[in-house]
Amino acid sequence: MRSLAGLLLLCLALPAIADKPLAPQTIPGAVTVDAERAVLLIQATPHLVIVDSRLSEEHAKGHIPGAINLLDTEMTEAALSRIAPDRDTPLLFYCNGERCLRSNNAAAHAVAWGYRTIYWFRGGWQEWLHKELPIAR
């Protein structure tokens, strides 16, 4: 009976295994935003640092205007401090989309390093493109 239930669980889990995992809905200590809220945030916050956690090639093809490229795996506390010295500096992280875990990872690190105002644009580049918002290159 237990093995049967296990088999059932496996069957249910299979599609999830087949796809890349989804990023979590929220990150503790960070505010999740969508494209519209991100735009309003950018327009209203002059000192906002937008961190593009994707690869540099991806960044070069197009990015949110004003974003700084910093790959999550290369983002040490020191590297982040160079672009955001003050722990009160608002940060906005994004990467490719909801199946991309880089920005999630980066935002979590920023929370751990003591940054206090962190926004996470979960929909990322895919949502930005889909809504045909202005892009920079």
Partner 1 sequence: MERISLRALITALLLAVVLITVVHTVISQYQFRRAALDYRADSISRVIEVAALEALRQARSHAITLGGSVQKRLQLHAPDVLRTQLNAPFSKGYVEAGYLDLVALRAYDAELHLLDMDGQRHIPPLPETVMQRLAQRQGVERLKTLGELWHTTDAPLYSVLVPIGGLHVEGYLEVVFNPLFNLLNVGDMIRMPLGIHDHRRAELLHPAGIDERAPNHAAMEYALRGVDDAVVLYLVAYADVDMLYADMRRIQFITALSFFVLTLAVLTLAFWLLNRHLFQPVQHLIGQMEHVLHDENNALVTQRGIQEVHAVAASFNAMATRVREIIQELRRISAQDGLTGIANRRSFNQALEREWLRAMRQGTPLSVLLIDIDHFKQYNDRYGHQAGDECLQHIASALNLAVQRPTDVVARYGGEEFVILLPETDAAGAAAVARRMQNVVATLALPHASSATGIVSMSIGVCAITPSRGQPAQNLIACADLALYRAKAAGRNRVEVAQASDWAALDSAAT
* Least Cβ distance, residue 64 to partner 1 (angstroms): 8
Residue 51 or 71: the one with the smaller Cβ distance to partner 1 is 51
Question: Would you count residue 137 as binding partner 1 (CB under 8 A)?
Answer: yes
Rounded Cα distance, 128 and 42, in Å:
13
Residue 22 or 136: the one with the smaller Cβ distance to partner 1 is 136
Instruction: Kindly tell me which residue out of 33, 35, 51, 110 binds partner 1, with binding defined by CB under 8 A.
Output: 35
Rounded Cα distance, 56 and 71, in Å:
7
Residue 63 or 72: the one with the smaller Cβ distance to partner 1 is 63
* Least Cβ distance, residue 67 to partner 1 (angstroms): 11
Classify residue 109 as exposed, middle or buried by CB count within 10 Å of its CB (0-12, 13-18, 19+). middle
Helix (H) or strand (E) holding 81: helix 77-83
Instruction: Kindly tell me which residue out of 43, 57, 78, 85 binds partner 1, with binding defined by CB under 8 A.
Output: 43
Question: Would you count residue 112 as binding partner 1 (CB under 8 A)?
Answer: no
Lay out the site mask for partner 1 across 72-111 (x = CB under 8 A, - = otherwise): ----------------------------------------
Question: Count of residues binding partner 1 (CB under 8 A)?
Answer: 17
Q: Between the CA of residue 136 and those of 68, 89, 102, what are the distances in Å?
A: 11, 23, 21
Task: Write b or e for each residue in 36-68: b if 16 or more Cβ atoms lie within 10 A of its Cβ, otherwise e.
Answer: eebbebbeeeeebbbbbbbeeebbeeebbeebe
